Amino acid sequence: MWSKGELLGMGEIVPGATVVGIVYDNGVILGADRRAAYGTFVIGKSVKKIFQITPRIGLASAGLISDVQTIVRELNYHARMFKYNTSREITAKALSKLLSNILFANRLFPLITQTLIGGFTFDAHGIYVLDALGSVIEDKYAAAGSGTEIALGILEAEYRDGMNKSEAKNLALKAIRTALERDSASGNGIDLLIIDRAGTVEENYPG
């Protein structure tokens, strides 16, 4: 398998994925495909790319598998320590700023990821988009990975404010499935993480 240095130096070897995030009236939806591919080589067909960090915050990430797993371990640790020290859950906005600091601190040897954090900040809910160097952008919908352009085309055309959970779920599935049809580095099914005021649930769908 290639080292990170080799991956950075070979333009044709880039991590493949399609992940999306959508804000709806009572929560957020994060979705991702299950294929892990470097260039034209598929290294996994059941790779997890969405993670629940707290009961009200989730993460979806496209990038090098090792770097994604490193980020998840770091955020899980800091979220647990925050709750231990303060007796309350960390907010989605605070967690995104924490990840921004982690990514920026590693900017000379970057964690090769594009990450979406979705969830609740007190009574508000939103999606935060982070690149490998720690930039943070809050938005109502977003996509990341090699299927970004295709998925964003669907989201841009069909997203609207005030969508309900069913509408947002159908849009997330449509955006990812459309990307799967054209992006060979994405595929092998879809995982959704739905973070709602009533609770959080993970769902799985065929591609």
pLDDT digits (tens, 9 = 90+) for 175-201: 999 999 999 999 999 999 999 999 999
Task: Find the helix or strand (DSSP H, E) in which 178 lies.
Answer: helix 165-182
pLDDT for the residue numbered 13: 47
Domains and CATH numbers, the chain: 8-205 (3.60.20.10)
pLDDT for the residue numbered 41: 85
What percentage of residues in the chain have a pLDDT greater than 90? 87
pLDDT for the residue numbered 38: 81
Provide mean pLDDT across the span 69-89.
97
Is pLDDT larger for residue 161 or for residue 38? 161
Tell me if residue 54 is catalytic.
Answer: no
Provide mean pLDDT across the span 97-117.
96
Catalytic hit among 18, 54, 121, 148: 18
pLDDT tens column, 29-64: 999 999 998 877 888 999 999 999 999 999 999 999
**74 pLDDT higher than 70:** yes
Grouping H, G, I as helix, E, B as strand and the rest as coil, residue 9 is helix
pLDDT for the residue numbered 4: 54
- Rounded to the nearest 5 percent, the helix, strand and coil shares of the chain are 35, 35, 30
Cα(141)–Cα(164) distance, rounded to whole angstroms? Answer: 14
Residue 10's pLDDT band (cuts 50, 70, 90): very low
**How many CA within 13 A on the CB side of residue 84?**
6
**107 pLDDT higher than 80:** yes
Long-range CB contacts for residues 81-85, cutoff 8 Å, separation at least 24: 83/54
**9 pLDDT higher than 70:** no
